[in-house]
C-alpha cells in the first residue's frame, strides 16, 4: 500500500504511508548529514555490544528519518540549525531504549550500521534495508510503526503476519503515556489521540494544515526533498 500525497511547492517528493519499505525516500540527507556531523558523532558500531544511545543516536535518527520520511528536525528538534530548538519531551531516547529492550540486539545493530554506512543518502538506507533479511526488514517496519503510532508491533509478529496464508491480527503495545501522545500520525494529520490535545480551542473549525504545503507553513514536518 502506498498512499501518496501531493507534492509540495518546492518540488518535494510526496509523503508516503509509513509501514512500507518499497517507496522512494523523501528526505534530503546530504545537507542534513553535513549539519548533523557537527552535532553528533557517528559511532563505530562494535559488534557484540548492544546499541548505545550515547554513540548511536545519530545513526538511529538517520535511520528513522529515512524510514519515516519525517525530517530529523521534527524527530529531534535539537538538530535545527540557525533557529535552535530543544526537546523537553525527548521521545527519541524512549524509543531507542524500548527497541534496545525488545528487539534482537544484533538486528538493531545491523540497522544502525546500515544507517551509519549510508549516512549521506536516505535512499540508500532504504535500499539497503530492503535488501536485508526478513528479520531486519521487519524490525525496520516496527520502528516505522513506533514513530508513527507510539506503539510497538513486535518484529516477530510482523514477520509471521507477512507469511502467505498466515495473516492474522497483529497485537501492539502502547510504549508509554508519553508515546501515546507523540505518534507522528497525529502531528501529520493535525489531529490528536483520544483524551489528549494541545490543539487550540476551535481548531476543528479550521481548514486542516497541510504538512506538505507551500513554503512558510508553520511546521516543517518533512525535509526538503531535493537529495
- In whole angstroms, the minimum distance from the beta carbon of 14 to other proteins comes to 22
Quick one: which of 48, 86, 101, 168 contacts other proteins (CB under 8 A)? 86
What gap in Å lies between CA 32 and CA 1, rounded to an integer? 28
Among 17, 93, 124, 174, interactor with other proteins by CB under 8 A:
93
Closest-CA residue to 187 (of 28, 81, 35, 77): 77
Options 7, 20, 34, 53; binder of other proteins; rule CB under 8 A: 53
CB 174 within 8 A of CB 184: no
Q: Which of 44, 47, 54, 166 binds other proteins (CB under 8 A)?
A: 54
Residue 162, CB-side half-sphere exposure with 13 Å CA sphere: 16
Radius of gyration for the chain, computed over Cα atoms and rounded to the nearest angstrom: 17
156-175 footprint of other proteins as x/- string (CB under 8 A): --------------------
CA atoms of 99 and 151, how far apart (whole Å): 11
Q: Which residues, 55 to 84, sit near other proteins by CB under 8 A?
A: 57, 76-78, 80-84
Surface-to-core class of residue 29, CB atoms within 10 Å of its CB (0-12 exposed, 13-18 middle, 19+ buried): buried
Q: Where on the chain is the footprint of other proteins (CB under 8 A)?
A: 35, 38-41, 53-54, 57, 76-78, 80-90, 92-94, 177-178, 180-181, 190, 195-203, 205-207, 209, 218-220
Amino acid at each position: 500500500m502506498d498512499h501518496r500525497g501531493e507534492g509540495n511547492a518546492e518540488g518535494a517528493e510526496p509523503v508516503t504511508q509509513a509501514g512500507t519499505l518499497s517507496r522512494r525516500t523523501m528526505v534530503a540527507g546530504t545537507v542534513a548529514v553535513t549539519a548533523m556531523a557537527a552535532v553528533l558523532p557517528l559511532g563505530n558500531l562494535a559488534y557484540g555490544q548492544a546499541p548505545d544511545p550515547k554513540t548511536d543516536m545519530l545513526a538511529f535518527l538517520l535511520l528513522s528519518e529515512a524510514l519515516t520520511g519525517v525530517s530529523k528536525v521534527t524527530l529531534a528538534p535539537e538538530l535545527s540549525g540557525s533557529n535552535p530548538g530543544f526537546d523537553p519531551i525527548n521521545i527519541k531516547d524512549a524509543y531507542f531504549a524500548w527497541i534496545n529492550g525488545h528487539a534482537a540486539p544484533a538486528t538493531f545493530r545491523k540497522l544502525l550500521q546500515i544507517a551509519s554506512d549510508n549516512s549521506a543518502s536516505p535512499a540508500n538506507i532504504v535500499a539497503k534495508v530492503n535488501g536485508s533479511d526478513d528479520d531486519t526488514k521487519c524490525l525496520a517496519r516496527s520502528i516505522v510503526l513506533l514513530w508513527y503510532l507510539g506503539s510497538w508491533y513486535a518484529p516477530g509478529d510482523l514477520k509471521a503476519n507477512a507469511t502467505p496464508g498466515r495473516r492474522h491480527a497483529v497485537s501492539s503495545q502502547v510504549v508509554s503515556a508519553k508515546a501515546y501522545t507523540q505518534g507522528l500520525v497525529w502531528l501529520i494529520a493535525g489531529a490528536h489521540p483520544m483524551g489528549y490535545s494541545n490543539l487550540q480551542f476551535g481548531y476543528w473549525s479550521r481548514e486542516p494544515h497541510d504538512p506538505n504545503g507551500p513554503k512558510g507553513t508553520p511546521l516543517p514536518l518533512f525535509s526538503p526533498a531535493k537529495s
